[in-house]
C-alpha cells in the first residue's frame, strides 16, 4: 500500500488564549497542544486514511507523551519516534496579534526534536512520498545532515521527495538559503512554497520567472504556490490552475499549510488530478484554521467533501 513518511521536529505549543497579548506580559497560556510542522503534516495524512510514518524524537516526559499518543491514536506509525530519557520535549510559545501576525519563542535546538537519527531498517517500508519541511532543516546543522541522509536513502529506493520550504527567518540565522534547501531542491518532485519563499529559493523576483527557473530541474513535476486567503496556483509542466481559498472564519492559522500539503499528496495517492488535489488541500487547510490549536482541525474525507460541496453550492 502506498505511504507517506516524514522526518522532523515534534514539539508542543503553549499559546496565548486570544490575540494581542505579548509573550513578555505575565498572563494566561493554554496548552500543551501537539505540534511541529512535520507532526501536523503526518497526522493529517493518517487522518485521511493513508499509511503514514515519522522519524523523530521526544523527551521522556508528559509533553512527549501528549504528541506521540495523539499521533498513535490517529494512525501514524511511531516506531521510528525515539524517546530520550532525561531530555525535555521541544516547546514553542506562541502569540497572535490583531493584524494576523504571530510571534514565537522556540525551545528546539538541544532537545530531542533535533536528535533523531535515521535508521533504514526502522521505517518498515519505502514510502511513495518522503516529505521534508524547511523548518526542520534550519534548527540544527547535524539534524539537517541526518534528514539529508534519509532523503538520499529514500530517493535512491524510488520514493518521490516532496518539499515545503516553510522558511522561518527566526531559525535561518546567518546561513544562506542554498545551504539549507539546495540538496532537497535537486531531488524534489513536488514543491509547496509561499510567494516569498518561491522568490527566495529561485533568486527571481517574478513569480512566473521563478517557476520557469525551478522547472529547469528535471526532477520537479509540480509547483503548488500557496497564496493564503487568495488560494493557490498549481503549476505543472503543461498547465496552470488557480484554486480559490474556502472562506471561513479563521481562528488559528498555525498548521493550515501543513494540512494543505498532506491533503494534496493524499489526493495524488488516491488518483485525483492536480485540480481536485488542490481543492482537497484548500479545504483541509481551511478546516484546520477554524480550530484553536495547530493540530485540532476536524479533518477527514467527510468534512473535506462537505466543505467543498457547501462552497460550490454557494457560488
Give me the tens of pLDDT residue by residue for the chain, a chain 315 residues long.
579 999 999 999 999 999 999 999 999 999 999 999 999 999 999 999 999 999 999 999 999 999 999 999 999 999 999 999 999 999 999 999 988 888 999 999 899 999 999 988 555 678 999 999 999 998 788 999 999 999 999 999 999 999 999 876 666 666 677 788 899 999 999 999 999 899 888 888 889 999 999 999 889 999 999 998 899 999 999 999 999 999 999 999 999 999 999 999 999 999 999 999 999 999 999 999 999 999 999 999 999 999 999 988 765
- Is 107 part of any domain? no
Query: Cα dihedral angle (70, 136, 190, 277), rounded to 10 degrees?
Result: 30
Query: Which structural domain, as residue segments, surrounds residue 149?
Result: 3-9+36-87+114-313
Q: Is residue 192 part of a domain?
A: yes
Give the per-residue pLDDT at 315: 59
Give first-to-last CA distance, the chain, whole Å: 37
Apex 221 CA angle, 234 and 244, nearest 5: 10
Q: Flag whether 161 is in a domain.
A: yes
* Residue 177 included in any domain: yes
Its pTM stands at 0.95
Q: How many domains does the chain have?
A: 1
What CATH code is carried by the domain that includes residue 243? 3.40.1190.20
Q: Does residue 96 sit within a domain?
A: no
What's the Cα-to-Cα distance from 141 to each of 55, 56, 135, 171, 281, rounded to whole Å? 17, 15, 12, 11, 31
129 within domain boundaries: yes
Amino acid at each position: 500500500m502506498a505511504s507517506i513518511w516524514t522526518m522532523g521536529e515534534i514539539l508542543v505549543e503553549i499559546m496565548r488564549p486570544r490575540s494581542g497579548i505579548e509573550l513578555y506580559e505575565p498572563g494566561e497560556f493554554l496548552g500543551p497542544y501537539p505540534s511541529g510542522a512535520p507532526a501536523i503534516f503526518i497526522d493529517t495524512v493518517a487522518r485521511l486514511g493513508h499509511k503514514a510514518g515519522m522519524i523523530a524524537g521526544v523527551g521522556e516526559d508528559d509533553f512527549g507523551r501528549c504528541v506521540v499518543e495523539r499521533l498513535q491514536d490517529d494512525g501514524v506509525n511511531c516506531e521510528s519516534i525515539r524517546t530520550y530519557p532525561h531530555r525535555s520535549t521541544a516547546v514553542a510559545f506562541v502569540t497572535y496579534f490583531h493584524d494576523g501576525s504571530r510571534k514565537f519563542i522556540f525551545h528546539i535546538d538541544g532537545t530531542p526534536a533535533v536528535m533523531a537519527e535515521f535508521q533504514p531498517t526502522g521505517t518498515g517500508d519505502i514510502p511513495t512520498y518522503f516529505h521534508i519541511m524547511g523548518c526542520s532543516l534550519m534548527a540544527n546543522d547535524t539534524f539537517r545532515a541526518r534528514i539529508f541522509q534519509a532523503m538520499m536513502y529514500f530517493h535512491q529506493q524510488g520514493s518521490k521527495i516532496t518539499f515545503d520550504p516553510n522558511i522561518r527567518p527566526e531559525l535561518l540565522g546567518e546561513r544562506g538559503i542554498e545551504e539549507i534547501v539546495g540538496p532537497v531542491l535537486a531531488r524534489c518532485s513536488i514543491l509547496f512554497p509561499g510567494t516569498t519563499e518561491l522568490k527566495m529559493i529561485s533568486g527571481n523576483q517574478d513569480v512566473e520567472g521563478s517557476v520557469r527557473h525551478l522547472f529547469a530541474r528535471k526532477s520537479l513535476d509540480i509547483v503548488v504556490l500557496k497564496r493564503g486567503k487568495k488560494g493557490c496556483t498549481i503549476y505543472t509542466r503543461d498547465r496552470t490552475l488557480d484554486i480559490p481559498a474556502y472562506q471561513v472564519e479563521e481562528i488559528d492559522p498555525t498548521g493550515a499549510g501543513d494540512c494543505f500539503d498532506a491533503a494534496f499528496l493524499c489526493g495524488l495517492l488516491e488518483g485525483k488530478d492536480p485540480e481536485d488535489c488542490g481543492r482537497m488541500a484548500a479545504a483541509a487547510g481551511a478546516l484546520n484554521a477554524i480550530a484553536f490549536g495547530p493540530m485540532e482541525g476536524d479533518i477527514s474525507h467527510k468534512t473535506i467533501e462537505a466543505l467543498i460541496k457547501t462552497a460550490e453550492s454557494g457560488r
